[in-house]
Amino acid sequence: MKVIDGSILEGGGQILRVSVALSAATGKPVKIINIRSKRTRPGLQPQHFVAVKAVAQISNAEVKGLQLGSKELEFVPHQLREGDFFFDIGTAGSTTLVLQALMPSLAYTPGEVTIRVKGGTNNPFAPPVEFMQCVLVPTLKRLGYEASVGMTKRGFYPKGGGIIKAISKPIRRLSPLTLTDLGRVIKIRGFSFSSRLPPSVTEGLTSGAEAVLRRAGYQDISIENESRKSWESQCALNEGSGIFLFAETTSGMLFANDALGRKGASDQKTGMDVAEGLLSQFSTGAAVDLHLADQLIVWAAMADGVSVLRTTQLTLHTVTCLEISKKILGIEFQIEGREGEPATIRIEGKGIKNLSTLA
């Protein structure tokens, strides 16, 4: 059994999610110690508890130490399952981080899987549901993996209550990725959204973003305004707002940036800041969004062949994913570049196969 030290590098929930994700996808048991030891509230919190429980249910795993606050966990996976599953975090914890832990194993199930997760859909320090839908899933299609992600109800902190839905189709094996050519930006799309707030909120977010993008010379811009009222089914349980922008290039690369609205902050300024953050990624000449890079590592590690990713910024999260993937799968990787700067990552995937006759 591989032992993973949860205190290394990023030292947070990502180590736990990557460990159980790779364990379930490959059938390799793992033991994680010092879980989230670098966080102010170490150990398993509700979101992490549900993520492990969800992956365990999909993989028929035996789990020791699965309780709130636990700092040590043993995860022994068995046969992956198909079917429909529903997981309720019970708080406003991130639904997308639960899905992030699930998706690698979903690629290797014997048949189609439908997942619903209840909690927060747009959280600080977590990918929004729009990122999964518009950036991650289309990029994973390049590996041959087919999935869809949608939202039936939005959820903000503190009440949560949002619901996302994912449908996953299994694959025999994953193809490697070569993402090194930035290309030229051809269009920018986005969503400004709010619940239980006046329409002026989303209008301010959109106008701020559009002003920055047009000033930079971009013309093909479309940002949808979603202003939900309390009686609408998709409306969140409490007030909240945000903006998500993404860009597509001639080489098919996808970049994104987002932010949640804050009380007392100018909506227009928030929109401007998000647009400026998106534009700053283009200036590096690199091809992979800095928030996408770390999420692709697990997939490249499982793929059949060598993947090469040129990312706009090497983050600690990306390095952490590489080290955990090496520990569990024995992959080899090389990095050209330093943390906080553009970098090229080369990963020799292990060619994990789906042995199910139905895949």
What pLDDT score does 166 carry? Answer: 98
* Nearest-angstrom CA–CA distance, 286 and 277: 15
Note the CATH architecture for domain 185-282. Answer: 2-Layer Sandwich (3.30)
β-strand partners of 156 = 160
Single out the catalytic residue among 48, 78, 291, 317. 317
Residue 288 has pLDDT above 50, yes or no: yes
Within 10 angstroms of residue 341's Cβ, the number of other Cβ atoms is 12
pLDDT at 355: 78
Q: Please check whether residue 213 is in contact with residue 190, taking contact to mean a CB–CB distance below 8 angstroms.
A: no
Mean pLDDT computed over 89-96: 94
For residue 123, give the amino acid letter.
N
Average pLDDT over residues 90-108: 95
Nearest by Cα to 128 from 40, 191, 204: 191
Task: Tell me the average pLDDT across 138-147.
Answer: 97
In DSSP terms, 64 is beta-bridged to: 74
Question: What pLDDT sits at residue 152?
Answer: 95
For domain 2-179+288-348, which CATH number applies: 3.30.470.30, 3.40.50.300, 1.10.1050.10, 3.65.10.20?
3.65.10.20
Confidence of residue 40 (pLDDT cuts 50, 70, 90): confident
What stretch(es) of the chain map to CATH 3.30.360.20? 185-282
3-state per-residue secondary structure call for the chain: CEEEECCCCCCCHHHHHHHHHHHHHHCCCEEEECCCCCCCCCCCCHHHHHHHHHHHHHHCCEEECCCCCCCCEEEECCCCCCEEEEEECCCCCEHHHHHHHHHHHHCCCCCCEEEEEEEECCCCCCCCHHHHHHHHHHHHHHHCCEEEEEEEECCECCCECEEEEEEEECCCECCCCEECCCCCEEEEEEEEEEECCCCHHHHHHHHHHHHHHHHCCCCCEEEEEEEECCCCCCCCCCCEEEEEEEEEECCCCEEEEEEECCCCCCHHHHHHHHHHHHHHHHCCCCCECHHHHHHHHHHHHHCCCEEEEEECCECHHHHHHHHHHHHHHCCEEEEECCECCCEEEEEECCCCECCCCCC
Average pLDDT of the chain, as a whole number = 95
* Spatial distance between the Cα atoms of 358 and 321, rounded to a whole number of angstroms: 30
pLDDT at 178 exceeding the cut of 60: yes
- Unique residue bearing structure tokens 């996408």: 292
- Is residue 357 over pLDDT 50? no
Catalytic residue list contains 317? yes
What average pLDDT does range 248-273 have in this prediction? 95
Name the phi and psi angles at 145, rounded to 5: -90, 130
At 162, the pLDDT band (50, 70, 90 cuts) reads very high
